Structures are given as C-alpha cells and as structure tokens.
Amino acid sequence: MSEDMPTGLLVAEKLFGLILIIIGATVTYFTSTNPPAGDTGILSNLFIIAGITVLGIGVLLVLAKTK
C-alpha cells in the first residue's frame, strides 16, 4: 500500500468531520434546549448522548493526523 494518501481523500475526511461536528452540535443543542414532550420525553437523554457521540467522532476525524 502507498504511504501517501490522495489529497482528495484527506480533504473529504476533514470535510466529513466538520459536517459531523455541525450535525452533532445541532442535535445536542436542540434536544437539550427543547426536549420532546409526552411519551418521547424519556428518549431526550438518548438523543443527547447520540449527538455528543456524533460530535466526538467528528472531532476525531478533524484532529486525526495524516502520515
């Protein structure tokens, strides 16, 4: 395998990481500020955890070093 990754792949990885950060932050913010009412109110913690997880994956993709 080649040591050098194609430039397009590196840019795509960073861009995908930024998109995941935006999605994770949005889900976390809107779920914590305006939780659902009724029977689905119990699931708000699950959505907050999912948003934080997506946010963390996005941060890892952006901060990943390339060789």
In a domain, 38, yes or no: yes
Q: What is the mean pLDDT of residues 34-42?
A: 79
Please state, in angstroms and rounded to a whole number, the distance separating the CA atoms of residues 67 and 59. Answer: 18
Tokens of 38: 């009724």
The mean pLDDT value of the chain amounts to 88
What is the tally of structural domains in the chain? Answer: 1
Residue with the two structure tokens 């699931």: 43
Torsion sign (Cα): 17, 22, 25, 27 = negative
Q: How many CB atoms lie within 10 A of CB 28?
A: 19
In a domain, 32, yes or no: yes
Q: What is the mean pLDDT of residues 36-54?
A: 87
Higher-pLDDT residue of 34 and 41 is 34
In a domain, 2, yes or no: no
In a domain, 54, yes or no: yes
In a domain, 41, yes or no: yes
The domain of 14 spans 7-63
Q: What is the mean pLDDT of residues 26-36?
A: 90
pTM: predicted TM-score of the whole model, two decimal places: 0.83
Q: Is residue 67's pLDDT more than 80?
A: no
